Amino acid sequence: MWTTLISAFVLATAAAEPPTTKVRITGLFAPDREKDLRELFAKWPEFKIVRIDFEFAEAELRFDAATVFPRSKPAEVLAKLNDKVRDASVGTFGVKPLSNVPRDKLTRIEIAVVGLDCKACCLGVYEVVAKIDGVEQATASFKDGRITARIDPAKTDKSKLMAALKERGVALK
């Protein structure tokens, strides 16, 4: 009898768990930023990070959208989540829909740069590159002196990224 009740409770509890949502995370430009992202979400008990894929700047989140964003239409949830994340991180993280470009269609490029000597500098050059249409994911490393990006070659190329960096005063090697 008790076993049946406990099993029923476990099944009911498991069924009540909200679904997961997969998103792209902006601002995830260096491996140590994963820790920063986890610390940010740890402040919100209504959210759980299920998985982070640093290589493609994606995260799988578990939350009940109806509870967290009451009276919001499903189409508004991602924008509201982005606002919440950007506000709490002072604009250093954001949320976007997953890329609709298949991973095998993306081109990985690297650009050697000079002068990335701190996390803020990395964030600055990351933002220059990440905002370019066709850049699906980017990283910046002061340790390696390099910007890496996964791009949709139908929309952009390495020369456009290099031109944008030069325009912002970033020295290329």
Does domain 18-96 bear CATH number 3.30.70.100? yes
Q: What is the DSSP string of 137-165?
A: EEEEETTTTEEEEEE-TTT--HHHHHHHH
Does domain 103-172 bear CATH number 3.30.70.100? yes
- What are the residue ranges of CATH 3.30.70.100 in the chain? 18-96, 103-172
Q: How much is the pLDDT for 2?
A: 47
pLDDT in tens, 105-126: 999 999 999 888 888 888 899 9
Highest mean predicted confidence (pLDDT) among 5-9, 35-39, 116-120: 35-39
pTM equals 0.83
Q: How much is the pLDDT for 11?
A: 52
